[in-house]
A and B are shown apart, each in its own frame.
Chain A
Amino acid sequence: MEIPYTVSPRPDTGLFNAKVGIWLFLASEVMLFGALFSSYILLRVGATAWPHGLLNVPIGTFNTAVLITSSITMVLAWANMKMGNPGRSRLYLGITVLCGFAFLGVKSKEYYDKFVHYEVRLVDGTVMDGHIKPSPDFKINKFKAESGTIVVEAENVLKANPGESMADAKDRLPAKERYHHGHEEREVKASDIRWISNYTPKHSPYFAIYFTLTGLHALHVFGGMIVLGYFWFQNRTMGRTQTERYTNRLEVGGLFWHFVDLVWIFLFPVLYLL
């Protein structure tokens, strides 16, 4: 019993089944990321102040270029199968997956960087951010420092009103000055600290939505890599024996991969540049 139109297209729609399937799935993904973007807008519009200058733009740009490159190599992988060059196709598909690895590697480093960056708000209203060197007895509980001292390698030191955050303070600066990174060392006792947190999702809605959006996107990159990696192995088997079916798989997998790139095209400016 064979299901029709799995490889050859149905005449009146001009499509084979998997193509309809993947576009439907992508429609649902548009709604998924759309909901997260809506949430971003609502959270930002409802916030008193929104942080700036906390994400590394050159690294983000590099990652953008990596994904764009992976998109063209994906197209070339499919195109070469169509033109009867399975060997070339395999090469381009391999590069696509490697680009995925590169993207995820850079993203992991970015995440780690955030986990070791702290925002420190002092009792007297000063706000600082940067790496910290804690004393052995330094302890944080929820957002309070319980004991010990730290040396803050501050990239920014600003004056703020009691109860305000770094974002509030930076908001008062002209836009051009929100991205400066200085270097100043300050020793601070636990009792001086009103509030301290590293840049994790619990820090603020900004990081909550950043990690959720990029985390979900990264999961999609990872999933795509697994599927494309599987196809890479299939090049020598199904690619030789059922070429049209395999080429369709590349097209469908490629559509997913391009979508992942598309999401990043919006994620990058929204999170890094706005």
Chain B
Amino acid sequence: MSAHSHDDVRKHLKLYIGVFLALLVGTAITVYAWTWHFESVAVTVTVALFIACIKAFLVAGYFMHLMSERKTIYAILLTTVFFFAGLMYLTVWSRDEMPRGTYWHDHGPHSAKQRIGH
């Protein structure tokens, strides 16, 4: 049997329902926050992704049993997350570091980073 026995599962039922409700609430909060229409893109992104990460943590941790899973799985996932982060960060960093005029609509001395804030 895997790490969950008959009784463990019964105890966890309340937890699963709780996570479900938390996910619905999280969704509602995300949409509500969106209705504020922040001017700053940075703030919008931060708020949305922050709540999304919490929801993801709940799904992965409880629905996918990661909280009680074994080292092997963790090792696989941590390795993956590291490379995923590398792919994201390094590609964006390289883009940001381009010399002037690389892109068609390059607006001069401002790098991409500065332009996002409008």
A and B: bona fide binding partners: yes
Interface residues of A (CB under 8 A from B): 8-9, 13-16, 19-20, 23-24, 27, 30-31, 34-35, 37-38, 41-42, 45-46, 48, 57, 61, 64-65, 68-69, 71-72, 74-76, 79, 82-84, 171, 174-176, 178-179, 244, 248, 251, 254-255, 258-259, 261-262, 265-266, 268-270, 273-274
Q: In the complex, what residues of B have CB within 8 A of residue A176's CB? A: 37
B112 touches A46 (CB 8 A): yes
Q: In this complex, what residue of A is CB-closest to B16?
A: A75
A45 touches B112 (CB 8 A): yes
Q: In the complex, what residues of B have CB within 8 A of residue A68's CB? A: 20, 23-24, 27
Q: In the complex, what residues of B have CB within 8 A of residue A251's CB? A: 2
Q: In the complex, what residues of A have CB within 8 A of residue B88's CB? A: 34, 37-38, 41
Q: In the complex, what residues of B have CB within 8 A of residue A255's CB? A: 64
A61 touches B9 (CB 8 A): no
B24 touches A20 (CB 8 A): no
Q: Which of A9, A23, A266 is the most central at the interface, judged by chain B CB atoms within 10 Å of its CB?
A: A23
Considering the complex, which residues of chain B in the window 54-113 have a beta carbon less than 8 Å from any beta carbon of chain A? 55-56, 59-60, 63-64, 70, 72-73, 76-77, 79-81, 83-84, 87-88, 91-92, 95-96, 103, 105, 112
Q: In the complex, what residues of B have CB within 8 A of residue A178's CB? A: 37
| Known contacts A41-B92, A255-B64; A71 and B59 CB within 8 A of each other | yes
Given contacts A41-B88, A82-B6, 9 further A-B contacts (CB under 8 A): A13-B70, A30-B80, A31-B83, A42-B91, A65-B24, A69-B20, A71-B63, A255-B64, A269-B52
A79 touches B60 (CB 8 A): no
C-alpha spacing A174/B43, complex, angstroms: 15
- The contact sample of 29 A-B pairs, CB cut-off 8 A, is A13-B72, A14-B72, A16-B2, A24-B76, A30-B81, A34-B84, A37-B88, A42-B92, A42-B95, A61-B31, A65-B24, A72-B16, A72-B63, A79-B13, A82-B4, A82-B9, A83-B6, A175-B38, A254-B63, A254-B64, A258-B63, A259-B64, A273-B30, A273-B34, A273-B44, A274-B41, A274-B44, A274-B45, A274-B48
A258 touches B59 (CB 8 A): yes
A14 touches B16 (CB 8 A): no
Interface size on B, residues (CB 8 A): 56
Q: In the complex, what residues of A have CB within 8 A of residue B38's CB? A: 175
C-alpha spacing A165/B82, complex, angstroms: 38
A15 touches B70 (CB 8 A): yes
C-alpha spacing A225/B91, complex, angstroms: 34
Q: In this complex, what residue of B is CB-closest to A53?
A: B37
Q: In the complex, what residues of B have CB within 8 A of residue A24's CB? A: 76
Q: In the complex, what residues of B have CB within 8 A of residue A46's CB? A: 95, 103, 112
Q: In the complex, what residues of A have CB within 8 A of residue B87's CB? A: 31, 34-35, 38
